[in-house]
Amino acid sequence: MARDDHRQVNTKVIEVSDSVALAKAAAERVMARIAANGDRVAICLTGGSSPKQLYQLFATDAFRSRIPWDRVHWFIGDERFVPADDPLNNMGMARQIFLDRWAPASNIHPIPTDTADPDKAARRYENELQTFYGAAQLDPARPLFDVVLMGVGPDGHTASLFPDYPAIEATGRWVVGVPQAHVEPFVPRVTLTLPALNSCREMLFEVAGSEKRAILTRVLDGENLPANRARSTGETIWLVDTAALPEHFRGR
Ligand code: 6PG
């Protein structure tokens, strides 16, 4: 397989100075997508540490006053299979930072983790997504999400789609259970699949810090990694701070 096979097309890398600038740029992109859709908006959040500053911005007066909370729905791209109030819970983090203060409860769509196992949680969330979307088949002309936020892990995973795990190849499902994680935290996961995540107007990766440079080099070199197979049917943006960006990409 040629490494170039997985180089991203319709993808833009945007360099910003640091993690503060990155959160601001991400917030403005989300605001632009909300403004572009005068109807019901669907945003798929992500976990990990990368989006924390963005979520903190959404809680500030400057941003929360610009968000039409009644018509924005908040989903999550993957979840750690831990109780909703566990500090590791991805949606729990977003709820605590901004959602519970400003979003109507009926517009918050967490992946349930009070089910018997991750597969049952996946079935329930798939059902919730399909009910929201109004169909069980995705129509390329009508993306499921306005924005999908993403991060990248040290092994090239994104959401809970780990390299060489069956979930990355799932095509008939929108959400699947992942019995074991490939990296910390080693708890079972529930993840949206590529067809569901990719069905969006914009996919927005946030990558900051020098510790991400090694994996970002592999991604931008076009290696076959989950983060390279996640790409929007619309626009895919990699928002990257200077510390994370490989040298030969800087200042481009
Ligand atoms: C999770 C995430 C995961 C994350 C990456 C990056 O549940 O852990 O959704 O895909 O986005 O691992 O994590 P950091 O932002 O913490 O580096």
For the whole model, what pTM was predicted?
A: 0.96
- Give pLDDT, residue 250: 77
User: Which regions of the chain are under pLDDT 70?
Assistant: 1-9, 251-252
Asked whether 48 lines ligand 1 (CB < 6 A), one says: yes
- Give pLDDT, residue 8: 58
Taking a C-beta distance cutoff of 8 angstroms, is the pair 124, 192 a contact? no
- Give pLDDT, residue 3: 40
Asked whether 78 lines ligand 1 (CB < 6 A), one says: yes
Closest to 206 (Cα-Cα) out of 35, 45, 98, 33: 45
CA 170 to centroid of ligand 1, rounded, Å: 20
Pairing of strands 235-241, 200-207: parallel
Tokens of 143: 């993306």
Q: E strands of 48-172, at which residues? A: 72-76, 78-80, 145-150
* Ligand 1 atom nearest 158 alpha carbon: 10
- Give pLDDT, residue 9: 63
When the pLDDT of each residue in the chain is averaged and rounded to a whole number, the result is 95
- Give pLDDT, residue 249: 80
- Site of tokens 């976990």: 47
Asked whether 228 lines ligand 1 (CB < 6 A), one says: no
- Give pLDDT, residue 252: 67
- The C-alpha atoms of residue 99 and residue 141 are separated, in whole angstroms, by 29
- Give pLDDT, residue 5: 46
Closest to 98 (Cα-Cα) out of 140, 45, 135: 45
